[in-house]
Amino acid sequence: MSDRQALKQAAARAALKYVQSGMRLGLGTGSTTGIFINLLGAKVQRGELHDLLCVPTSEASAQQAASWGLALTSLDHVTALDLAVDGADEVDPDLQMIKGLGWALLREKLVESHARRLIIIVDETKLVTRLGQHVPLPVEIVPFAAMATVRWLQGLASRVELCRTSEGEPVLTDNGNYYVHCYFDDGIVDAEALSPQLNAWPGVVENGLFLNMATQVVVATEDGIQILERSS
């Protein structure tokens, strides 16, 4: 196991202590959250947790959770979630985040907006001083007039790429939309202003800025687990 993989394992394992029997639980998407789902499923199969009702944020997470026998539902059938657990692509000192490079940002944001608590699990490489320093900002857009939307986004970012498969076709989200990556040479100067500006454009469905959402961030470092909490 690589050092990076070991850190992901440590973060996912630390998040398990927040899960209690009887919870309505949001399950995120991505490599670290995938580890969490496996650990959670194993704990349920050992009888250490029971009566969980899970809302997944992607078809992939749904299939993984179902393979462990976890009970699944949707937001249409629950009024609120006790807890959601997910990863992040970048986290800044104020616990603002870029998420969604695993192609699931819309469902992630929708599900996690219904959670009373959102626990984010990352390794220390995901901590940045400014969002957009190391990863692009993902944006989900409608297929209609997609290149027109890309051109509009190019007025806001340093570079914009429509995400494509290895066959050259546009990547399709679970919602049937396209994905673009927006790169910012100097990082995102004002995420609070950029997020509503993006979502106000008719061709944009949702963006990967997750602002003022994380309750706690569980960070796995070489020196152990660090818990970051958002000041209110």
Single out the catalytic residue among 108, 112, 140, 206. Answer: 108
Residue type, 41: G
Tell me phi and psi for residue 228, to 5 degrees: -105, 135
**Cβ of 126: how many Cβ atoms within 10 Å?**
23
The yes-or-no answer on residue 167 being catalytic is: no
Tell me phi and psi for residue 181, to 5 degrees: -115, 125
Q: Report the C-alpha gap between 232 and 229 in whole angstroms.
A: 9
Q: Going by C-beta distance under 8 Å and a sequence separation of 6 or more, which residues neighbour residue 93?
A: 129
172: nearest Cα among 151, 141, 148, 201: 141
Continuous segment of H or E residues that includes residue 205: strand 204-207
**Which residue is associated with the tokens 């990556």?**
181
**Strand 90-91 with 97-98, pairing:** antiparallel
18: nearest Cα among 82, 62, 79, 77: 82
Active-site residues: which are they? Answer: 108
